[in-house]
């Protein structure tokens, strides 16, 4: 089976879990892109969803397809999030974030009641980290507080 067919099969299977009226986390990457396309084609008067994209690229794709989008601040719970992984080992440990959307992906996944990771055989590895540099997340939130923690305590003598 070709890699394209395998990705499409994984995407089609994931989309089967999306029901009318759901809030759906829309992932980033080549297989997630297929999911978004399939959801756009499925839209009708009897099937409507709200999407929460994990990247600007996914947002633009969903907008073009007519998927109603909401922001993370507009919704406490996401019914289902669907996203891909960059690498998966035999123990189902995985790496995400090589597409540069790690923070958004994590926030959406955290809010999801259910989370489906879709991969094809090309993502399977014997050891994580074999496809290149691991994603590193840098966020300035709390940097000042961390600096205070590194300062030596005041002497009381």
* Catalytic residue flag (residue 105): yes
SS (H, E, C) the chain: CCHHHHHHHHHHHHHCCCCCCCEEEECCCHHHHHHHHHHHHHCECCECCEEEECCHHHHHHHHHHCCEECCHHHCCCEEEEEEECCEECCCCCEECCCCCCHHHHHHHHHHEEEEEEECCHHHECCCCCCCCCCCCCCCCCCHHHHHHHHCCCCCCC
Kindly report the number of other CB atoms within 10 A of residue 98's CB atom.
16
Kindly report the number of other CB atoms within 10 A of residue 118's CB atom.
23
- Among residues 12, 63, 105, 137, the one annotated as catalytic is 105
User: In the block, which residue shows the tokens 């959801």?
Assistant: 39
The answer to whether 25 touches 80, Cβ cutoff 8 Å, is yes
Which residues are identified as catalytic? Answer: 105
């Amino acid at each position: 089976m070709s890699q394209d067919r395998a990705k499409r099969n994984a995407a089609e299977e994931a989309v089967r879990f999306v029901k009318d009226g759901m809030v759906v986390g829309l992932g980033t990457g080549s297989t997630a892109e297929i999911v978004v396309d399939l959801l756009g084609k499925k839209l009708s008067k009897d099937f409507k969803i709200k999407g929460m994209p994990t990247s600007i690229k996914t947002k633009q794709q969903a907008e073009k397809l007519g998927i109603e989008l909401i922001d993370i601040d507009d919704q406490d719970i996401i019914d289902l999030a669907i996203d891909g992984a960059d690498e998966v080992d035999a123990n189902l440990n995985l790496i995400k974030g090589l597409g540069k959307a790690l923070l958004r992906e994590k926030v959406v996944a955290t809010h999801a009641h259910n989370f489906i990771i879709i991969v094809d055989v090309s993502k399977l590895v014997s050891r994580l980290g074999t496809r290149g540099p691991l994603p590193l997340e840098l966020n300035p939130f709390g940097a000042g507080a961390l600096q205070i923690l590194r300062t030596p305590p005041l002497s009381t003598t």
